[in-house]
Structures are given as C-alpha cells and as structure tokens.
Structure 1
Amino acid sequence: MKDSFVELRARERALALLDAGTARELVGPFDNLISPHLEPQGIVPESDDGVVLMRGQLNGQAVLVVAIEGAFQGGGIGEVSGAKIVAALEQALADNKAGKTIYPILVLDTGGVRLQEANYGLLSISEIQNTVVALKQYVPVIGVIPGRVGSFGGMSITAATLSYLITTKKARVGLNGPEVIEQEAGVREFDSSDKDLIWNTLGTTQRAATGIVDEVVTDDIATIKAAVSAAVAERKDSHRTDKADFYLSLLDQLDLDQPLDTQTYRDLYQHVQITKHTIPAAVSGDNPGTKSRGRLWFEALTGIKNAESSVPTVLHADKGGKAFIAITADEHNRFPRVRHGEVGLQEGFSVATIVNDIVAADADKATKRPIVLIVDVPSQAYGYKEELIGIHMSLAAAAVAEAKARQAGHPLIAVAAGDAVSGGFLAFGLQSNRLVVLDDDSITIQAMSKASAARITQRTIAELEAATEHVPAMAYDVKNYQKLGAMYQFVEGIDAWQADDQSVAKLAGIIDDAIASTVDQPTDLHFRYETDIAKASGRVATRRVRQAVADQWAN
C-alpha cells in the first residue's frame, strides 16, 4: 500500500514522523550493542536489538521517537532493548526537568517480554513504566500502535500508562495473547483459531469504543504524523490509569452469570453509574481464608488473624507506621480466574485505590508512610472477560499508583514470599525500590508459565529448561533470579510456608532495614543497577547501554 505507515520498519517509521533533515539516531546498529543472551541459545541477534531511538523535530518541536521493530523477536523487550528505551526516556526526563521541553513518542509493535530473556524483560518494562510516569509530570507521552504485532503482554500495560494512544484498524491491544489464554484456561475460554473473535475483542474498533485507545486513524504516513503532531501540540492526555472508580463501579454492575460479548460490554461501558470506592482496612474474621503464602505473611506481619476485606483478594492494613498490602487467593471468588491469587480486574484497580489513598493522606507529611507489598502472585488472570474489559488497564493502574507513591517519597518495599510471575509481578512488586526475596525453592519468579512459554517460543519444555543453563533470566527459581542483581536482600533460612515467631521477627527486621536504606536516596529504580551483583554480572549490558545513550544524547 502506498504511503502505508504499518508496512514500514521501525527505523523508517521513526524517520517518517520527524521533520526532514532533523533526525539523529542514538545507539544505532553501528554501535553494535547487541543482546548477550541470544547467541548462547542459537538465536541470531540484531545490531540494534530491535529498538530505534531518534531525536529530531516534529513541526519544529523537539521530540524523541522510540520505535520497536516487530519483525525482530516479535518486538519483545529484552535487556539491551529495554535499557535503550529507559535510558533515552530518562535523558528526555532530565531535559524536561531542566526546562528543555522534549516530547517522547513511542511506536509500539511488540508482544511484550522477550521470552528468551524473560526476567530481564520484566525488569526493563517496569523501568520503562516508571520513567513514563515521571515524564508525564512534565509532558504528555504519546503512543502509536500501527499494526502487524500490536501491543501485547507487559507492553500493553506500558501502552495503558501513556498519555494518548493513536492506532490504525490494523492494530490489536491486549495483555494476554489468545494462544496464551487458550494454553492457560482452555479453548472454551478463548479459541485462538477464531480470527473474528480475536479482532472483535482486541481490535482497535472495539478498543476505541471502550476507552482503551484514543484515536483510530487511516494507515497513511501523513495522517499518522498529523495525529501525533496534534497530540503533542494540544498536550493530549486521557488519564487512562486514573479511572479506578469507574472500573470498580463497572465491575460492581457486571453480571458474571450472563454472557458478555463486545456489544453487551459496550452498552455496559457507556452506562456505568460511577460511585466513589474506598477499600477499608482488613479486619479479623471468624474463619480462615484460602491458604496462600501472601495471606500467611500478611497476617503474620500485621497480627490480623483470619483477615477479611470488602475485596476478598486484596488485604491491607497499617502496622507500626507501615502500610501492608497483599493480593491473596480466594477459592470462592466471583471472578473464577483469580481464585488462586492471580491479579485480575478488581485486584489491580483496588490496589491502585489503596495506594492512591495512602499518597493523598500523606501528601502534607514530611515523612511518607512506607508501603510493603507482600508478593504472592502466580500470574495475571487469564480470561475472555478480563481481556474484553481490559485487564492490562487494571494492572497499569496499580503499577502507576505504586510508581507515583515511590516518586512522592514513600519507601516501596516488595517482599516476594510467594510466586512473582508475569503481569501480576509488573502490577504488584516490580515498581518497588527495594525487593526482598525469600530463598525458598517453592517460589517462582518468571514472565510466563513453562507450558505457555514453550508454545510461544516453539520449543519443548525440555529445551526451555536447557536454555536456562546459559541465560539465568530464563530460569524460574529464586537463586537464578538473584544473579540479575535486582534484589535488596536474598533471605536465607525462612520457609515461605512457615511464619513462626522467629521467622516473622527476622523478616520484619529486614523490612525495617530496607526502609531505612531508602532514606535520603533517589526515589527511582536505579538501585537495581548499582548492587554488587548488578555491576559484576547481572546488569553489565544495561549499564553499558545507559552510558552509551548518555554519551550520545547531547553530542
């Protein structure tokens, strides 16, 4: 198609958005900063790792274009590609703070985490989201989703954090790809061979009608450039992640016993009666809740026995000047896909509400309340209704609230007392500026279940497990996760399923130490790059990329 934006590659897309003669690429293919994690798996790397960074002008206004190449590894985010995006956005943030206005534009053609680098992808995506939140205090961050791959996985959460989203009819947006939902929940939940169902659910016609994207334009270079230019000039921002009350009200009015199709959902979306939601602190109940490590450690650290809440899967309470929050299992939950502790629609928006209320209450206080997240999330919820409504919006709301809290000065401590997997971890844990992990073989930290990862990467589970010998980021256990350097402390000698008095006292002391370590320290996520392990091995490639971007930014 003549003048198609969708048919362009990432570099061509970036150039097409910029005024002629103004483009300057940063850390391009000749810098040869390739991923060190692909060749050991027999995968040919790309010299730019699938991300193009260009500074230039759009109608005379300074902009940074970040374009993801969907033709390389499905646009998946790994360590190097993620570091390029984060470093460039942080340079733009520094310029804006200094009064040098520059508008970031993200062209998303991505399946989310690059599964061949799994946990590096999760870390990088959380860092991208953190920087987007910080930038939006100064300028809107504009997103373009042209088509081909679309925006999926953790990068759909990122898309939801952006100020304004421009798409074509050739794009799709969703957290869980149809194949993953089918693998995790069965073909009756979402038939990945039903193309009409996929496009009707995830396509931008439906997404625009239900607030997930802002503008659908013709696939034409001039039209898309004009739309982006208008979004920049008018500083458009739909405040997508600030609508927890709307979505919690919608969920209150949703009848889960009735079928939900695209038209039924549109009707519901357009007629929601919005009410203000607050989530009261947990109280002691008469009966024990569904067993989970998240519940166990929440009750042990707060002293609340048989904790109950108006949202059965979300518990929060203050204890000792700290706010504790946990997402827990609930075997009788009205949403079947969250009964094992998954983060679903209600969970993300409820966590966002709790955290936002904490920030508001402490706004005028010199010392901000520490927030402690007790992490035991086996994944996000895999369900058709969740995708139709937009579960990535829920997860984004939680992640943004947590990032804002940390940036406002609240120490944000995540304690992985249980599993920390995929979008669940992005929404609940990865925005922390200190991560504490129990050394327990029962804990999984990863981007996707083995069965789904094998299906998406077209490997056997045995081949997937063999690859972890060369790439610790692909492993599922906590000892390999420690090698990435992201932890504040790796806690030995505590059984995740045994919260005895000695273990509780030990963990409480570590939490206090983690909080103390944030005093007079930056409120960003740079701690992850500065640990001894990160410097020696875990984030060497990240640090090299960050330095290269910094060196080239102003030159």
Structure 2
Amino acid sequence: MIDASSISYSECSARERIARLLDAGSFHEWLPPAERVTSPHLAQLGVPCAFDDGVAIGRATLAGRPVFVAAQEGAFMGGGVGEVHGAKLVGLLRRALRDRPQAVLLLAESGGVRLHEANAGLIAVSEVMRALLDVRAAGIPVIVLIGGANGCFGGMGIVARCADHVVMSDVGRLAMSGPEVIEASHGVDEFDARDRALVWRTTGGKHRWLVGDCDALVEDDVEAFRTAAVAALDAARPVTLDTLEAEHALLKARLALLAEPVDGDEARTLWSRLGVAEAERIGDLDVNGMHALRRT
C-alpha cells in the first residue's frame, strides 16, 4: 500500500522529480531556462517553445554519490524529442564519458520524436542511443526511471531498453509504438487505444516486469523510485557478445510462447505460458501483490 504521505511520481513535473529524487540542493543544471536554448524548428513553424526544450540536464548526488541526470518534461509536447532536446541528452552522456559519474539517471517521459521536426528528432534519438551504449561500454551504469503520465514510447522506448537498468511503476508504460499510433496505422480492430485495460496489459509496468523488460517494479511514489535508483547504482551490465546473445535467446523464447494460436487476450496468454499463476488476477494486484506472486 502507498503511504498517505507519499508523493505521486506521475503527477510531478520533471524538475519536481529531480528535486525529490536526488539529494537536497545537489542538482546543478546545465543549459537552464535562463540560457534560452530553444528549438529553431518550432519557432519557424510558429509553435510555442520552451526555454529548456522540454528536458532538464545536470549533475547531482544520490545517496551521496555523484550522478548525472536528465529529466524529460511530459507537459511540453509530450516529452517529444527534437534536435535541441536530443542534443542535450547526447551532451550529457558524452560528458559522462569524460567526468565518469557513478551513474547516469534518465527520468524518461516521452511520446517519441516530435512530428514537427521528425528528421532532426530521429537523428537525435540515434545519437542518444550510440552515446548511451558508449557510456555503458565505459562501465558507467545508465538507469532509466519510467512512471510519467505520457509513458515512454517511440525512440525513447528503444533508448530505455538500451540501458543497464529500468525501473517502472505500475502506472508507467513502455513500448516502441504508442497505442494511438498502432490504432491509426492498423485500425481499432488491431488495437483499441481507448481500452485502458488493454493498453496497460500490453505496455504497462506490470507486464514489462513479468516478461523481463524492466528490472524493478515500484509504486507510483517518488520515494520508491529513489530507493530503486539507489539500489541500481551498482547495476552496470557490460555490453558483450554473451549478453547480446542471451537477450536474443530471451526474445526468441518469448516469441515461441506465442507461436501457437491464442484464444483470447495475448497478454494474459503470454503470462500463463510464462508460468505466471492466476494470470487473470494480474490487473487487480498491487505492487506488493505482484512481488508476492513472483516469489511464489
């Protein structure tokens, strides 16, 4: 159960998450709003800009240990990645290679690349992925926290799965294509984006934790995210041929579980075939119930 004094992670802004997750007063922001680094593309299109282009980056400490942090602001264009937004993330990661903090935290909340500057955003996301893998190769863990109202979709969904460690709340969502995108491309019969239960069964934190796409499942509580982030500070996972082959084997085995015809809901079928007891009850369980389920 969530304590009555807890603070919802999903309801916090990017800077509120930074202030509450990290050691008090330790955050030093690079390229803050006062610098007015904005997207030139949005201005040309007459679209309102944000003086930080929707992402705050900087250094801080977490449990007394030096970290770099980036927090995407879901309230600005859904946390969409554009040229400047992406360049700030790349710059943070490249500076991590030079300064070698204990970890890099990415507080992800994004619907993907901005359609307003699609090509620039796509290039930026590819550069973020390359820089993130360079940081991992250097032995610096990259920890992604997902629990915002917009979820983590599109290019940022791929970025998240490139990281060492992923923490999600039960209200968080993670996927490549967002529900609305799937519905628009393939029709409501393929995916009904208005079916909230379906959306969370297929992209939500519980599902991602059960199938192994996230490493820690927590309540929608800032303190729970902080505790999980501290625990992950030593979670570096070197990128090697063995780890890549193991990941491919996991994905191959998961696909094989759905090779036979599915009678009913695919998510529940997958849970059952993974050996999850009482898969029909997953939607009703809280985080403590989910942890108890895994222990059994």
| SS of equivalent to 1:228 | helix
Structure 1 residues 127, 60: closer, same or farther in 2, change over 3 A?
same
Q: Report the Cα offset of residue 267 of structure 1.
A: 3.0
1:203-222 paired onto structure 2 within 5 Å: 203-222=204-223
Q: 2:92 aligns with which of 88, 94, 98?
A: 88
| SS of equivalent to 1:174 | coil
Instruction: Give the match for residue 128 of structure 2.
Output: 128
Q: Report the Cα offset of residue 68 of structure 1.
A: 0.3
Instruction: Give the match for residue 103 of structure 2.
Output: 103
Aligned mates of 1:169, 1:252 — CA distance in 2: 26
Amino acid at match of 1:113: V
Cα shift readout 1:54-77 (whole Å, capped 9, x = no counterpart):
211111111011000011001000
1:346-365 paired onto structure 2 within 5 Å: none
1:393-472 paired onto structure 2 within 5 Å: none
Aligned mates of 1:15, 1:21 — CA distance in 2: 7
Contact 1:164–1:238, Cα closer than 8 Å, also in 2: no
| SS of equivalent to 1:57 | strand
Instruction: Give the match for residue 169 of structure 2.
Output: 168
Q: 1:57 aligns with which of 44, 50, 61?
A: 61
| SS of equivalent to 1:243 | helix
1:88-487 paired onto structure 2 within 5 Å: 88-96=92-100, 101-137=101-137, 138-232=139-233, 234-235=234-235, 237=237, 242-255=246-259, 257-259=261-263, 261-270=266-275
Cα shift readout 1:458-480 (whole Å, capped 9, x = no counterpart):
xxxxxxxxxxxxxxxxxxxxxxx
Task: Name the TM-score, length of structure 2 as normaliser.
Answer: 0.84
Q: Report the Cα offset of residue 237 of structure 1.
A: 4.3
Q: Report the Cα offset of residue 14 of structure 1.
A: 1.4
Contact 1:250–1:268, Cα closer than 8 Å, also in 2: no
Structure 1 residues 238, 194: closer, same or farther in 2, change over 3 A?
farther
Contact 2:140–2:236, Cα closer than 8 Å, also in 1: no
Contact 2:6–2:223, Cα closer than 8 Å, also in 1: no
Contact 1:56–1:62, Cα closer than 8 Å, also in 2: yes
Contact 1:95–1:102, Cα closer than 8 Å, also in 2: no
| SS of equivalent to 2:89 | helix
Q: Report the Cα offset of residue 255 of structure 1.
A: 2.3
Aligned mates of 1:219, 1:236 — CA distance in 2: 25
Amino acid at match of 2:173: R
Aligned mates of 1:237, 1:159 — CA distance in 2: 14
Structure 1 residue 10 corresponds to structure 2 residue 14: yes
| SS of equivalent to 1:136 | helix
Aligned mates of 1:249, 1:201 — CA distance in 2: 18
% identity of equivalent residues = 38
Return the index of the structure with the highest Cα Rg.
Answer: 1
Instruction: Give the match for residue 76 of structure 2.
Output: 72
Cα shift readout 1:504-531 (whole Å, capped 9, x = no counterpart):
xxxxxxxxxxxxxxxxxxxxxxxxxxxx
Q: CA RMSD of the aligned region, Å?
A: 2.0
Moved more, 260-269 or 131-140: 260-269
Aligned mates of 1:248, 1:170 — CA distance in 2: 27
Q: Report the Cα offset of residue 236 of structure 1.
A: 5.2
Aligned mates of 1:115, 1:269 — CA distance in 2: 37
| SS of equivalent to 2:41 | coil
Cα shift readout 1:183-204 (whole Å, capped 9, x = no counterpart):
1112111112212111111111
Aligned mates of 1:170, 1:253 — CA distance in 2: 26
Q: Report the Cα offset of residue 8 of structure 1.
A: 1.3
Contact 1:142–1:164, Cα closer than 8 Å, also in 2: yes
| SS of equivalent to 2:232 | helix
| SS of equivalent to 2:230 | helix
Task: Name the TM-score, length of structure 1 as normaliser.
Answer: 0.46
Whose RCO is larger (CA < 8 A, sep 6+)? 2
Cα shift readout 1:115-158 (whole Å, capped 9, x = no counterpart):
11101111111111111111112121000002201100111011
Amino acid at match of 1:170: V
Aligned mates of 1:12, 1:66 — CA distance in 2: 12
Aligned mates of 1:5, 1:258 — CA distance in 2: 36
Instruction: Give the match for residue 379 of structure 1.
Output: none
**Alignment gaps of 5+ in structure 2:** 277-296
Q: Report the Cα offset of residue 163 of structure 1.
A: 0.8
Contact 1:14–1:54, Cα closer than 8 Å, also in 2: no
| SS of equivalent to 1:224 | helix
Instruction: Give the match for residue 432 of structure 1.
Output: none
Contact 1:55–1:62, Cα closer than 8 Å, also in 2: yes
Contact 2:262–2:269, Cα closer than 8 Å, also in 1: no
| SS of equivalent to 1:151 | coil
Aligned mates of 1:176, 1:148 — CA distance in 2: 16
Cα shift readout 1:72-106 (whole Å, capped 9, x = no counterpart):
0010000000000001110001223xxxx431000
Amino acid at match of 2:140: V
Aligned mates of 2:159, 2:129 — CA distance in 1: 6
Amino acid at match of 2:102: I
**Alignment gaps of 5+ in structure 1:** 272-555
